[in-house]
Amino acid sequence: MVQALIRQSACVADLKARAKRRIPGFVFDYVEGGCNQEHTLRHNRAALDAVYLRPDSLKPYTPPALTTTVFDQTYQAPFGIAPLGLSGLVWPDASLFHARAAHEAKIPFVLSTLSTVAIEGAAAAAKEHFWFQLYPPSDLEIRKDLMRRAEAVGCKHLVVTIDVPVAGRRPKDMRSGLAIPPKITPKSVFQSALRPSWSIATLRAGLPQFASLQPYIQNLSNIEDIANYVRTTLKDVVDEPMLKQIREQWSGKLIVKGIITVEDARRAVACGADGLIVSNHGGRQLDAARSSVECLREIVEAVPEHVVVMADSGVESGVDIARFLANGAQMVFSGRSFLYGVAAHGETGAAHTIDLLKEELQQVLGQLHCDTPADLVQHLVAQA
């Protein structure tokens, strides 16, 4: 890890603070914010902070290894980069930076359907660590084509997000004009002018586009028409019949993201899911949701052992990753941390974020005398 970067950003909180100084306020609010009054966002933090771990200090010490195997593929750490929509708004080519860094670090990288980097470009960068997150279009032919393109570039892991039946209501974005369609306001222009590095980079790259969806909207030029098309055609509600249909169409591993109840976990497995991501969308969809970490153990216990249970929402440190792993997750994903990383330091920030989380997680395991991530479940302090 580069010591100059450590001095500037020694943790994700430092990345966040530096990002706030480098990107416009409306962009920072988009990344940081949750829905409605942000109760779920705050609860995610509180619930993670309530998880405590128990050391075995007199147990014989072995330096811990972070290597983790899921779906018969070995990764160098038990965490990955979550799907990030409109990532290029934060910094041009953000998802490309993340994909390259994930490949170098040998961790999973999940590309969002609504990313500003196309499937083909992201897969070329992430290579065998590429996963694709699908917001299924209502148009069956477009849905099939997105899956065909993912399969054509060697993707073996399809992540279907189920917890966005309607758009999240985010007052900060509504006030800033960052909605569909977006609106340029005097305030957003002023905030952009205060962040010249971001403005210059964005002007050079051009306004961010939903790159993977461009082949399907190329005949539309009016921003209002594009916005309406995205709302009505390029994203649909996922229910059991649709999930079963996707299972029939997809030959690789099917992972269902957005699970926070035992009932939905069982339904997803019945539809043929190979894996689950326990998630409340980082507090961005339902402002009365339980936190992922407090739902996790009951979901792990409710599904068959062959189902890979993963988690996200609220991860801000290696300690948070350890907390999720101790509650039974086999892989943990973080989104905001990685956006703060590239906003703070550009492309080097993507790799730096991975390094920070790895070193923090390594320190926690060492402190606990815990040999592997899978052994963290033995170190969970039971809740009263």
Cβ burial of 7 (10 Å; 0-12, 13-18, 19+) is exposed
The two tokens of residue 219 are 């005949």
Please state, in angstroms and rounded to a whole number, the distance separating the CA atoms of residues 140 and 118: 20
The two tokens of residue 383 are 């809740």
Could you tell me which residues come within 8 angstroms of residue 253 by beta carbon, excluding any fewer than 6 positions away? 71, 156, 157, 158, 274, 275
Residue 346 · residue 1 · CB < 8 Å:
no
Q: Please calculate the CA angle 317-105-146 and round it to the nearest 5 degrees.
A: 95
Query: Could you give the dihedral angle defined by the CA atoms of residues 10, 366, 291 and 163, in that order, rounded to the nearest 10 degrees?
Result: 80
- How many residues would you count in the chain? 384
Smallest CA-to-CA distance from 181 within 220, 149, 155, 151 is with 220
Please state, in angstroms and rounded to a whole number, the distance separating the CA atoms of residues 98 and 189: 28
| The one catalytic residue among 281, 345, 352, 379 | 281
Query: Could you give the dihedral angle defined by the CA atoms of residues 202, 204, 208 and 212, in that order, rounded to the nearest 10 degrees?
Result: -140
Torsion sign, CA atoms 121, 281, 292, 134? negative
103 belongs to the catalytic site: no
Query: Could you give the dihedral angle defined by the CA atoms of residues 361, 362, 364 and 365, in that order, rounded to the nearest 10 degrees?
Result: 120
Cβ neighbours around 296 below 10 Å, total:
24
Q: Which residues participate in catalysis according to the annotation?
A: 281
